[in-house]
Each structure stands twice: as C-alpha cells, then as structure tokens.
Structure 1
C-alpha cells in the first residue's frame, strides 16, 4: 500500500503536519503528504507487483479540510473510517472494481443467493405451535451460518403462534416471528461468505423485512381484491372481518403485534361497522382497518407468495 495525500494550497501551512500526526496515531505512518496540483484527483492505482499487487492511493485534502478518496470522504476526526477504507481496499480491491451492492452491503449475486435460501418453504404446521421451536427449526435448515448477537437469544420468547404459515417462505416467517420479540434477522457478508445475524431490532437496524412490496402492484398480486360484493357489517370485531376475507381470498393476514401492543389495540374488542353497500374487497379491508386505527398492504414473501401485512396507523417508532 502506497498512500499519497495532496493538500489544497489554500489551507493553513500547518495542515500537513496535523494530518501526519493524526494518521500516525492511527498507525498509518508510510504516507507522503504534499501540496496539491490542479490536476490531482482521488484515485487508486494498481501496480503489478509480485506476489501481490500494490495499491497506490491518491487522496485529496480539500479546502474544507476533508480527506477525499474514491467512494468516501473523512474529516481529520474520522480517520478510523479511513483505516477501515484501507482494510476494505486490501481485501476487496479498488471501489470501482467491486461488485455493486444492492442491499445489506451484499452484491447482487450474494443477495440473490440469500433470497433463494430464505425462500425455502416452511414445511411444518405453525398454528398453535411454540414460536421458539419454529424459529430454531427454520434457522437450522438455512444454508448460511447463524450468529446470535449478545442477549438476543435470551429475548426470544415461546408464545403460541396464531397463524398457519406452512408453505410460506422461511425468511418472511422468521422476520415475522423475531419481530414479535424486538429481534431482527440481518444478512452480513465478509470475505468468508454470508452469515445471518440475529440482533436486537430498532429504527436504525437494516433488517430482513416481513415481506416485500409486489413489483407489479397489489391488484396484480391479488386480482380478487377488485372483485365487487355486497356487504353489511354490524358490530363485528376486526379479527373476524379479516378472517372472513382471508378464507374467501386465500390470503393470510399477519399482524404487527408489537405495534398493536404499543398503541393498546385489542383485535377482539375493536368492532367494525359498514352499512349495506356494494364495494370491493380492497375497500372493505381499508375501511375496516381505518376504523380500527390500523392500515394494511399486500406484500409478497421471499418466494413471491402474497399476504396481507397489517400494522398501526402510527409507526411503532413514534
């Protein structure tokens, strides 16, 4: 690794000394620092040396006193990030030569393999079964290793599952059951491959989702939503309304239970009233959910099977 930093001449004279000192504190000592020329640009050159190539890094310290390298920039207080950038360069090569990432820091090939792995259908009945046992069985069938974050395992509960999720995709079912306990499944890749981390969830955690938006829209994924029928719903609880629609459409409804608990919504005690009218299944669902302070959307699992995802009008993060 050869590192050369070109400093904008408009910066104070001591700038080069300050950067050299801070880089030295981070263990980066073999660095040449000079005044920048107008033609200087951030780049990585690959020198054909043996047995391993040598990377020659040209970084620019701009007039905002930021170090700019291909694909990143760092202030003098963020040199830990520059160290990680160098480590990635050593292991993965120059940024422009790496496969583009599409999600979770995974390139397209790895992401598709992960999605294929998590598309495995659930082969067991889940209705009335212990959630912890289901999670353990599904994780054991995945092709990539599973790593539990500290304390995550102790948070996994053993509640009774109220939905029949047999034949649904394993990734979607895992994301659904883990969310109940505030946990999340996160695929992470490194030089050794991909691992599935089970971690505590949160608004800043990029986790595997409970399903995906259908690429061609809800009505294409479930055409029956646009069918007309005459209804007259009087003081029927929201769960019963949705169970009737589920049986007619063959569409499983999954509830965001943590959000329901957060806002004190009891499905059994929330009554729905829709005067006699001719309408579509889609409108019945929307009107019923709105009366219950809920909202819903059609999603597809990792194998493309549609289901109805139901959560609160207000996000749980509020």
Structure 2
C-alpha cells in the first residue's frame, strides 16, 4: 500500500540524517590574510556546521581537497585568500555566506566529492539517474484502468515498478476519489500515471534528496514546476513510429460524437488513445457531444483523424511512451 510505503521511507530518511558522519575543516590561510579576520572566520564556519575547524598558515603546495575517512566522515582542506574568500572543492564563499557554506556542507555529508561533482540535467537528476528512471517506468500497467480509481491503478503500477512513490494523505484521498478516464492498460507506467493524474489536478515529479535515491512525488499540479509528461516526442517520423496510422481505408462518418469516432479509429489502428481532458474542459469542448462527419472517400487514418478532430477544435499528436510504443494524444487546437 502506498501509505505504508511512505511511512517507511520517511523513517529511513530520518535515520540516515541521524547517522551522518563528521566533517572536519582545515583552512590554509594565504599570505596577506589579516590576523584579525581569522577569529571571525572560525565563528562563521562553526555556525555553518563544521564539526571541527582549524586554521593554519598556508604553504606553496596547498590545494583544496576532500579526504574520505570512511563511515561517512570527511576531512576538507580549504584556502582562505587575502580578499577574504574561502575556496573549497567546488565552492567559493564570502564570510557572510553562511547559508551557502551550510548547503555545500550538506552535500559533503551526503556523499563527499561524488555529491559535489554531480552534473544534474533534467528533473534535477544526472543523465545516468534519468535514464535509469526512464527505463524503470517502461513496463506497461498491465491491467484495465478506465473507470477505476487512480489509487487502484497506482497500486497496480506499484507492483510493476521499483521506484518508490511519495504522496501526502490529502493527495492519497484525492486519488481514492478520482476516476481514471482513459484505458491505459497497454501504456507504460510513467506515461500512464502522468495521464491519469492530470484530470485530478495532480502531477508526478521525480525528486532526489541529497545523498538519497530517486523517488516519485505525487503532488498538486500547481506545485509541480516540471511534472513528468504525458508521453514523449518520438525520435523517428510518424510513419516509422505508428505505421498503421498511414494505412488507407474507405470511410464515411455521419454526425457522431468525436469521442466515439476517435475511439473507433484508435481501436482499428491498435494504438492507445489519451485525451487532454483538462484542456478540453478549459476550452469547453464536450468530446462526448460534439459531432463530426467525413464524406465517403478513400483516405488514410491519420488524415481522417486530423479532419474530424479539427471539426471539434482538437488536434492529434503521435507520441511514444517510455517503452517507445506509439500512442495518440488528443489536445485542443492552439494550446
């Protein structure tokens, strides 16, 4: 159960902080540093949280360094210049920047040099972490989803992926009440979760605490600066990604709801169909009521969909999920 999992994660995180090792600091003062400033620097560095601070006169061969002493303990060598700037591995600080020194120290405690040298990219993750997360979210949901609750579907997802999920009790309550509006059984877990959360005003956001593992936080959409997306732009052209969309057929459509017509076509091309329900509501498009038509003629599926969706002020985008499988994403025009 998600609620139980979250409690375990919170306790684990607290225990890790309690077991953090010591970080000692050795500051080599360069020639020209005023003797009157050293006492102020010791006070500032102690305020930042170093477990032990020692200042000494610098030598010509001094350089910034971090030594891993084992068991989470680190020894840092820093250089203090006559301009009152403290240089550490991966950082430079004025005496007034206690908050910056404290944040730097938190990284050292979390993983030493490795944590300081993290090269973060998308979602605040390293490229390696993002690729690993992407791959872990590639399995399909593997169970019917439409008209189940988001919480029920999330339980299925939890059995398919190994990434921990986090959500507050209030968010869990919303998931228990909200229905999944699309059939996501064949869609990969990452895209499926993003799609089912959107109509509930929720979003999935990857997050990694200092020194910790990557987790997926389910939050209110208003609090998500960069949520996990509903599908991804394909690497290849649409014909390569979804060849069935370019098969020809003889067709005539006479005044039926756009949702009904689109679902019938999606079934024919055997691709998952996902609607931007939020966008449709915002544009006041009733997909179950707006009727569309198409004259009797020979055409191919993508052109057919483009034609009828345009009549309902909608548009089609062919995307792929984390497994690289094509899906149909329907959104309002001009969004």
TM-score bucket of the superposed structures, by smaller chain? 0.7 to 0.9
Moved more, 185-194 or 67-76: 67-76
1:49-64 matches, within 5 Å, as 52-57=73-78
Aligned equivalents of 2:309 and 2:28: distance in 1?
Answer: 59
Aligned equivalents of 2:265 and 2:192: distance in 1?
Answer: 21
Hey, what does 1:239 align to over in structure 2? 259
Aligned equivalents of 1:20 and 1:312: distance in 2?
Answer: 60
For 1:101, what is the secondary structure of its paired residue? Answer: coil
Instruction: Indicate if the aligned counterparts of 1:144 and 1:194 stay in contact, CA closer than 8 A.
Output: yes
Q: In structure 1, list runs of 5 or more residues that go unmatched.
A: 7-15, 33-42
Counterpart among 292, 296, 299 of residue 319 in structure 2: 299
Question: How big is the shift at 1:308?
Answer: 0.7
Counterpart among 256, 277, 285 of residue 265 in structure 1: 285
Moved more, 23-32 or 82-91: 23-32
Aligned equivalents of 2:308 and 2:40: distance in 1?
Answer: 64
1:147-226 matches, within 5 Å, as 147-149=166-168, 151-190=170-209, 191-202=211-222, 204-226=224-246
Counterpart among 117, 128, 142 of residue 123 in structure 1: 142
Hey, what does 1:255 align to over in structure 2? 275
Instruction: Indicate if the aligned counterparts of 2:234 and 2:241 stay in contact, CA closer than 8 A.
Output: yes
Question: How big is the shift at 1:302?
Answer: 1.9
For 1:267, what is the secondary structure of its paired residue? Answer: coil
TM-score (norm 1): 0.73
Question: How big is the shift at 1:230?
Answer: 4.7
Cα 1:312/1:60, change in 2 over 3 Å:
farther
Hey, what does 2:112 align to over in structure 1? 93
TM-score (norm 2): 0.70
Cα 1:76/1:104, change in 2 over 3 Å:
farther
Instruction: Indicate if the aligned counterparts of 1:186 and 1:206 stay in contact, CA closer than 8 A.
Output: yes
Aligned equivalents of 1:286 and 1:68: distance in 2?
Answer: 59
Matched, 1:80 2:76: no
Question: How big is the shift at 1:239?
Answer: 0.9
Question: How big is the shift at 1:57?
Answer: 4.4
Question: How big is the shift at 1:222?
Answer: 0.3
Cα 1:233/1:56, change in 2 over 3 Å:
farther
For 1:290, what is the secondary structure of its paired residue? Answer: helix
Hey, what does 1:145 align to over in structure 2? 164
| CA displacement 1:174-222 (0-9 Å, x = unmatched) | 2221222111222323434232222112375322222222222322110
Aligned equivalents of 2:285 and 2:101: distance in 1?
Answer: 48
Instruction: Indicate if the aligned counterparts of 1:126 and 1:163 stay in contact, CA closer than 8 A.
Output: yes
Aligned equivalents of 1:220 and 1:249: distance in 2?
Answer: 14
- How many positions carry a matched residue from both structures? 304
Instruction: Indicate if the aligned counterparts of 2:124 and 2:207 stay in contact, CA closer than 8 A.
Output: yes
Cα 1:160/1:89, change in 2 over 3 Å:
closer
For 1:177, what is the secondary structure of its paired residue? Answer: helix
Aligned equivalents of 2:159 and 2:137: distance in 1?
Answer: 12
Aligned equivalents of 1:60 and 1:249: distance in 2?
Answer: 68
For 2:234, what is the secondary structure of its paired residue? Answer: coil
Aligned equivalents of 1:259 and 1:102: distance in 2?
Answer: 29
Question: How big is the shift at 1:79?
Answer: 5.4
For 2:200, what is the secondary structure of its paired residue? Answer: coil
Q: Greater helix share, 1 or 2?
A: 2
Instruction: Indicate if the aligned counterparts of 2:182 and 2:275 stay in contact, CA closer than 8 A.
Output: no
| CA displacement 1:52-72 (0-9 Å, x = unmatched) | 54333459999xxx9998777
Moved more, 250-259 or 266-275: 266-275
Cα 1:174/1:75, change in 2 over 3 Å:
farther
